[in-house]
Amino acid sequence: MDEIGQDGLNRAAAEISESRRILDKSGLNLVGEVLRGFGDFIEFEHYPPEDSYDPESHAQYYFHAHPPGEREWSDYGHFHIFLRPKGMPAGVTPVAVADLAAEGDGNDRLSHIIAISMTGAGQPERLFTTNRWVTAETWYGADDVIAMLDRVRFDTAWPSWPLNRWLSAFLVLYRDEIAQLLRQRDMAVAQWQHSHPEINVFEDRGLEITSARMIDLEEKLAGLKK
């Protein structure tokens, strides 16, 4: 067991179950919560508009969708989750790349943590990581991003309190899987750069998804009860 420990996993599972109970009781689901009140669901638009941001943890997310058939697999939509520098552990620094984003106000060099694919029924089905150009993030090495995981939480009521509780707990429950995907991400980027030395790998449109795995939340929760 990693540093979260069994008690931490059990608390995360209980939080996920409670968030889902509240939504189920109201006839709602996680995807409906992030889209509710914003009109038609338009591809590539961010939901909620201008993203959801926790000013205390400096974690951020949005939900959006791509046109069907654009990738080798499609989903109804996915959450992109980030952490901004003011929420990062001390000593974390970006990887030196040719076109590093400007410093800005000191909180602009955000890191993409993970993406969570969702079904139309509001269930998670896949975790994946992306190349830098996909989200215009600043690139941090896998070990640094893994160190950020424990700091990503959404302790706000907008756009949805149960959704934010669920996302925060989900990242705890799947911490090991996310860590593995982040390390696979770095390996994929290194291998791609080795095979394409003439191209800036971080801006190469030929490399979009850097690692991915299917997940089964019900199976995961059931396994903790054994």
Q: Output the pLDDT for position 61.
A: 98
108 vs 62, residue with greater confidence = 62
> Would residue 69 be called left, alpha or beta, if left means φ above 0 and alpha means ψ between -120 and 50 degrees?
left
Q: pLDDT digits over 189-205, tens only?
A: 999 999 999 999 999 99
Task: Assign 112 a pLDDT band (cuts: 50, 70, 90).
Answer: very high
Q: pLDDT digits over 207-220, tens only?
A: 999 999 999 999 99
Strands 209-214 and 59-64: unpaired
Q: Output the pLDDT for position 86.
A: 96
pTM: 0.94
Q: pLDDT digits over 73-83, tens only?
A: 789 999 999 99
Calpha distance 190→226 (Å, rounded): 39
Choice among 65-69, 145-149, 219-223 with the minimum mean pLDDT? 65-69
What percent of the chain has a predicted confidence (pLDDT) above 70? Answer: 95
> Would residue 82 be called left, alpha or beta, if left means φ above 0 and alpha means ψ between -120 and 50 degrees?
beta
What percent of the chain has a predicted confidence (pLDDT) above 90? Answer: 84
Task: Assign 102 a pLDDT band (cuts: 50, 70, 90).
Answer: low
Choice among 89-98, 118-127, 144-153, 177-186 with the minimum mean pLDDT? 89-98
DSSP for 188-200, written as a single string: HHHHHHHH-TTS-
Q: pLDDT digits over 131-152, tens only?
A: 999 999 999 999 999 999 999 9
Whether the predicted pLDDT of 101 surpasses 90: no
Q: Domain boundaries in the chain?
A: 5-225
Q: Output the pLDDT for position 105.
A: 63
Q: Output the pLDDT for position 2.
A: 47
φ, ψ dihedrals at 80, nearest 5°: -105, 125
Describe the strand order of the beta sheet including 59-64 as a list of residue ranges: 47-53, 59-64, 77-83, 111-118, 124-130, 209-214
Q: Output the pLDDT for position 1.
A: 37
Whether the predicted pLDDT of 66 surpasses 50: yes
